[in-house]
Structure 1
Amino acid sequence: LAEIVHFKLSDIGEGISEVVIKEWFVKVGDKVNQFDSICEVQSDKASVTITSRYDGVVTKIYYDVDDTAKVGFPLVDIDVASDGLAKEQIDEVCDEDANNKHSEGFIPSQKVLTTPAVRRLAAENNINLKDVKPSGKDGRILKEDVLTYLENKSSFKPTTVSPTQPKKPTQTISEKSVEQRPKEKTVSVNTIEDRREPIKGIAKTMVKTMSQALKIPHFGLSDEIDLSALVALRPMLKEEASSKNLRLSYLPFFVKAASLALSKYPILNSSIDEKCETITYKRSHNIGVAIDSKQGLIVPNIKQVQSLSILEIAAELNRLQDLAEGGQLSVNDLTGGTFTLSNIGSIGGKFGIPVIFPPEVAIGAIGAIKIQPRFDESGNIKKSHIINVVWSADHRIIDGATMTRFSNLWKHYLEVPLKMLLEMK
């Protein structure tokens, strides 16, 4: 007898109530075991792979790709009583040539060891799995084997002519007949239609976050910083970073300087409750860095910056950037931030006006480095490397004087980087 279990989407934390289905790894009739991948979903914060908690056979799938699934509602139905059913359909797949299936003298091909995800990949690319050379244990065909087969197949494409579609003879028209034909009046018709798409995933998160941010009374402050000393220092530190296979930009210096300044002005590393009755001072400096990814604007954060060196910050920043590029950031990477820096200058622009990222109370936007003429202490013109920064703060608990003192200290650390290095713990 069948025993159907509704496999529901569990609560994946951080207040996430719905996700978008990105990819299914199973289909109806597939046998699954505990911890097998069922599907990949995109939440408001990160991509998550959902795994099975049961052994059995999938009997129903409730959503298509790009559908929105609600937490607490079924994703699939699994027949847990069918532990032996369709075993040969799942792990030992008999791939038969559809064109020869009903021909006389047809002999079934050998069974092939593979997984449902690999079989689906082969079907999508019209590949007969018996033609693929296996590299897995006990002759199992892996995803990499199918991709290698595809790559080798695409490198050789013989030219064939279909015998059922002979080439049509070319029709010729005399110049005289063309001249005698009356010219037709052409009418231009605009057939371009507007495109509509639902707001989901990262974009939906931005809508929700920015709507909350609009409720915060923002206070703004701007300043310019002369990075000439840091520009001269960084090449020496880059050699050390390169020896550790690290990319060292200016952002780790900005992040560390912010942490040192937050230690002196901790109210900028705090949050307030919804009723604005309590301030919570955060002991950890989890500094977010805005990243322009393929999925949209995301803000992962570097944890415990107050305890990290410049190179350790660079290593963590490299990790977050690489994961963001592949859309693989975890929920932990994207939550728990206490203060944010947006390095908009890495794309371009002299300065930007940032919007606070709730529940944080302050954010800074850093512009591009520009070479500008400035006066030295003797009144002589010198070449300087200048950036502009704009700070936004929650004016309910942060006044202009506090924000200005914080900015002055952050500026001092960057303009005199040796001072910053001396104060690092």
Structure 2
Amino acid sequence: MSVEFRLPDLGEGIHEGEIVEVLVSVGDRVLDGQPVMVIETDKATTEVPAPVSGVVKEIRVKPGEVVKVGAVLMTFEAEGRAVAAAPPEKDVSREKAGGLEAPPGGGETRPAVTASKEPPAAAPSTRRLARELGIDLRQVAPSGPGGRVTPEDVRRHAELQGRKPAAPSPQAAVAEEEAPVARTAAPEAAPAPSPAGEPLGACDPHGAIERVPLRSVRRATAKHLARAWAEIPHVSHQDVADITELDAFRRKHKAEIREAGGALNMIVFVLKAAVAALKAFPGFNASIDPEREEIVFKRYYNIGVAVDTDRGLIVPVIRDVDRKSVRELAVELLDVAERTRRGKAEREEMTGGTFTLTNIGALGGTAFTPIINHPQSAILGMGQARLQPVVRGDLERHEIVPRLLLPLIVAFDHRIVDGADAARFLGMIIEALENPEELLLVI
């Protein structure tokens, strides 16, 4: 039976992907669930598994091509009855385990283990996990739909065998001072279109050029930021916070947070200070509904934290920041930032943000102007904290003392809030950061 394999739904808001690599050739025999190609979207790099066991009959795409959801990728001469293609799982390294699948319900009956010579149905990440744990998938009782083996099945089997998961990657031991940082720049004007078919590296009247297509994360970023810049009337307000005492508190407790698996960097404290200000000034935790001409105030606090990766700027979302302690945030932030850099963060972790925090401080500079993450109404930027001389007192009696100052800038949607609101909003954040005891009451 000939089966057309179409690009499945890649998740909410994702309509296309770029073919990174085709892993099979025409005439190759593949098994159901075997990776056949790698696709990159603005969210992640994904292995796409074969929907059936059979022989590759035709390949209709090639690396570098951008394809829409529903487009035919390849055809198979299937062995037996074809099954629907399952959504692909995210995997950038193709070496370590991917995301978890939901465990089966308590009332389900688990199928018996079979002794078939053919590998059982399982997603690529599940197969990798089994290899890491030294588990034979044919010995694992499947609980997934259609008799598929899930990661939970493999872990449960490993526990029964007395085996432990693989050790975490060395990247998990990131120094506590390292914080997720973002490269932020206003969108540049688009170049004028060139004649079709102009070869790469051709010369124009001014000199040699090279043309590089916008792809995956960079392409999505360009569209997203251009829309935000065009639709939102941006206004910025800037100030500095004296974090001398707060930094002393951070240094005092960073070792115990490290033991808990987190990193106590300044972003953690800014998150807690920001969420208190968002509750006091709800216009910064809102969005515009232009169709109904309404302001939508969010009564939950999911803050995106911009992370600088080798694929571009990616913004995972920390959910319910107001309900989490400093310790919990320090652990979660380090984990999600590390997984985002490795392309391991789940798609769901990139959605649902109500406000964004971006930190350029680790790269230097005194100030910058962040672009609001549409459709949010505001974004808070952090500059580099520097030890600077500060004058205390008045003209008659004063002293000059060294203080650690943190530049902060808030960009906001002027349709929703005004400059005076921004000054009060940022002032509340600064007051919390400058008074660690007060900040601890907030957290």
Normalised to the residue count of structure 1, the TM-score between the two structures is 0.71
Report the AA paired with residue 18 of structure 2.
V
1:364 corresponds to = 380
The answer to whether the 8 Å contact 1:223/1:388 transfers is yes
Please list every run of at least 4 consecutive aligned residues from structure 1 whose deviation after the TM superposition is greater than 6 angstroms. Answer: none
Task: Establish whether residue 5 from structure 1 lines up as the match of residue 3 from structure 2.
Answer: yes
Unaligned runs of 5+ in 2: 82-117, 120-133, 138-206
Match of 1:201 among 216, 229, 236: 216
The answer to whether the 8 Å contact 1:57/1:82 transfers is no
2:367 corresponds to = 351
Aligned-pair distance for 1:353? 0.8
Task: Establish whether residue 299 from structure 1 lines up as the match of residue 315 from structure 2.
Answer: yes
Pairwise CA RMSD = 2.5
Number of equivalences: 323
Match of 1:219 among 235, 238, 260: 235
Task: Establish whether residue 409 from structure 1 lines up as the match of residue 407 from structure 2.
Answer: no
The answer to whether the 8 Å contact 2:260/2:331 transfers is no
Unaligned runs of 5+ in 1: 84-112, 115-134, 139-191
CA displacement 1:72-124 (0-9 Å, x = unmatched):
111121212468xxxxxxxxxxxxxxxxxxxxxxxxxxxxx99xxxxxxxxxx
State which structure, 1 or 2, has the greater radius of gyration over its C-alpha atoms: 1
CA displacement 1:235-274 (0-9 Å, x = unmatched):
1210211211322211111111111111111221111123
The answer to whether the 8 Å contact 2:52/2:79 transfers is no
CA displacement 1:156-197 (0-9 Å, x = unmatched):
xxxxxxxxxxxxxxxxxxxxxxxxxxxxxxxxxxxx942111
1:101 corresponds to = none
2:244 corresponds to = 228
Aligned-pair distance for 1:230? 0.7
Trace 1:39-50 onto structure 2 (pairs within 5 A): 39-50=37-48
Task: Establish whether residue 77 from structure 1 lines up as the match of residue 93 from structure 2.
Answer: no
Relative to 1, partners in 2 of residues 1:315 and 1:136: Cα closer, same or farther, differing over 3 Å? Answer: closer
Using the TM superposition, name which of 5-14 and 227-236 deviates more.
5-14
For residues 280 and 52 of structure 1, the distance between their equivalents in structure 2, rounded to whole angstroms, comes to 43
The answer to whether the 8 Å contact 1:25/1:38 transfers is yes
The answer to whether the 8 Å contact 1:46/1:334 transfers is no
2:143 corresponds to = none
Q: Secondary structure at the match of 1:376?
A: strand
For residues 328 and 62 of structure 1, the distance between their equivalents in structure 2, rounded to whole angstroms, comes to 28
Report the AA paired with residue 37 of structure 2.
C
Trace 1:11-160 onto structure 2 (pairs within 5 A): 11-81=9-79
For residues 317 and 275 of structure 1, the distance between their equivalents in structure 2, rounded to whole angstroms, comes to 35
Aligned-pair distance for 1:319? 1.6
Q: Secondary structure at the match of 1:380?
A: strand
CA displacement 1:251-299 (0-9 Å, x = unmatched):
1111111111111112211111233612222222111111211001121
The answer to whether the 8 Å contact 1:45/1:205 transfers is no
Report the AA paired with residue 271 of structure 2.
V
2:401 corresponds to = 382
For residues 386 and 276 of structure 1, the distance between their equivalents in structure 2, rounded to whole angstroms, comes to 43
Match of 2:261 among 229, 241, 245: 245
1:288 corresponds to = 304
The answer to whether the 8 Å contact 2:15/2:69 transfers is yes
1:419 corresponds to = 438
The answer to whether the 8 Å contact 1:47/1:329 transfers is no
1:124 corresponds to = none
1:334 corresponds to = 350
The answer to whether the 8 Å contact 1:349/1:367 transfers is yes
For residues 292 and 414 of structure 2, the distance between their equivalents in structure 1, rounded to whole angstroms, comes to 12
Normalised to the residue count of structure 2, the TM-score between the two structures is 0.68
Aligned-pair distance for 1:55? 2.8
1:262 corresponds to = 278
Q: Secondary structure at the match of 1:234?
A: helix
Relative to 1, partners in 2 of residues 1:240 and 1:71: Cα closer, same or farther, differing over 3 Å? Answer: same
Relative to 1, partners in 2 of residues 1:82 and 1:369: Cα closer, same or farther, differing over 3 Å? Answer: same
Q: Secondary structure at the match of 1:328?
A: coil
Relative to 1, partners in 2 of residues 1:342 and 1:269: Cα closer, same or farther, differing over 3 Å? Answer: same
For residues 313 and 348 of structure 1, the distance between their equivalents in structure 2, rounded to whole angstroms, comes to 25
Aligned-pair distance for 1:136? 8.1
Aligned-pair distance for 1:327? 2.4
CA displacement 1:119-168 (0-9 Å, x = unmatched):
xxxxxxxxxxxxxxxx8859xxxxxxxxxxxxxxxxxxxxxxxxxxxxxx
For residues 33 and 201 of structure 1, the distance between their equivalents in structure 2, rounded to whole angstroms, comes to 28
Report the AA paired with residue 409 of structure 2.
V
Q: Secondary structure at the match of 2:236?
A: strand
The answer to whether the 8 Å contact 2:307/2:341 transfers is no
